[in-house]
Amino acid sequence: MSKLFVVFGATGQQGGALVNYILNHPDFSKQFRLRGVTRNASSNAAKELNEKGVEVVEADMDQPETLPAAVAGAYGYLVWKKASAAVEIAQGKAVADAAIAAGVSLFIWSSLPSVTKMTGGKVTTVHHFDSKAEVEDYIRGLPFHSSVFFMPGWFMQNVWNPLAPKPKILKDGRVLSGFAWSPETKLPLIDINDTGKYLAPALRDPVKYNGCRLTAATAFYTAKEQVDTWSAVSGKEVIIPKEEDIPLLTSDPIQQKLARPGTLLEEWGYYGPTGEKDLYWTHNQLDEKLTTWKEFLESNGPWFVE
Ligand SMILES: NC(=O)c1ccc[n+]([C@@H]2O[C@H](COP(=O)([O-])OP(=O)(O)OC[C@H]3O[C@@H](n4cnc5c(N)ncnc54)[C@H](OP(=O)(O)O)[C@@H]3O)[C@@H](O)[C@H]2O)c1
């Protein structure tokens, strides 16, 4: 009898990628059957899931009373979401509580480090990292047989993220990339479609990975490496904008704020001082090839076509 895995966020990027991974995997597809949770089972994304053979159920993490039915009978349980910090904390705790009540044994939480703790209180404004870390601490205090923490890097797919500043083609044909990072700033890049490759160890051996963080990125790429590869793949010269170029990229104040170099990335690093060591450890647990930035760009072009 296969075990039931419940995926919150199955209609989104991370959850959807994990669903596809399990459905296409020679062993996991036999070991697990999938239930995808959505707020709207009539959406196109939910219908597509259903057509792939995923059971689709409606529930809302903002309404804890809808959660027990969504998790009933589950062995494993995975959560991704997109919300403000306070909402995310409430949602995360509510789904963890529902999972404990349902007797779920493996709980996977899409987490990130606490920037406030990692910087000794010097950077306290990265709320969407801190909120995930707070939920992680809460989950660690619950009696799951195994809780595992997926720590995704910067999505390569952010090149299409509507919240992020878009690259701008200049009159001279060069292209300003979206972020005014200094050339040596390093970013851990993940093709989010690789999500399942990082979670495979936890699916295979939950007890071994109990309490572990799976740091999820193909590699750390400097901003200069990113634009140089983008230039080589696109055939256009892609350059890093200077701070004074930001108004050329976007007039949206939120996007302008995102485009500016931030203290976290420039001074501390996305995962903090242990990031490279943690990534090395995670890579040693994996047995599948990860998608490089170059491969991602090659398979998603053409780029900068007007
Ligand atoms: N972009 C990055 O570089 C990056 C890096 C690290 C971490 N993250 C984190 O990744 C998260 C977003 O993940 P994603 O991009 O995979 O998500 P996404 O594609 O935006 O999808 C969000 C998913 O969450 C579900 N959802 C939202 N609110 C819900 C609720 N109240 N109850 C039940 N389900 C709900 C949605 O389902 P329905 O709409 O079908 O209900 C959808 O499946 C954010 O927390 C972000 O901070 C992003």
Per-residue pLDDT reduced to its tens digit, 70-112? 999 888 778 877 678 999 999 999 999 999 999 999 999 999 9
Supply 121's token pair. Answer: 């209180």
Mean model confidence pLDDT for the chain: 95
User: What is d(CA 155, CA 57) in angstroms, rounded to the nearest whole number?
Assistant: 27
pLDDT in tens, 27-60: 999 999 999 999 999 999 999 999 999 999 999 9
Whether the pLDDT of residue 218 is over 80: the answer is yes
The CATH T-level fold of domain 3-144 is: Rossmann fold (3.40.50)
Q: Please tell me the distance from the alpha carbon of residue 138 to that of residue 180, in angstroms, as a whole number.
A: 36
Which residue out of 81, 109, 255 has the highest number of ligand 1 atoms within 8 Å of its CB and is therefore the one to mutate?
Answer: 81
Average pLDDT over residues 277-300: 98
Domain assignments of the chain as residue spans, ordered by start: 3-144
C-alpha dihedral (77, 81, 85, 87), degrees to nearest 10: -80
Query: Who lines ligand 1 at CB under 6 A?
Result: 8-9, 11-15, 37-40, 43, 60-62, 80-82, 112, 128, 152, 154-155, 158, 161
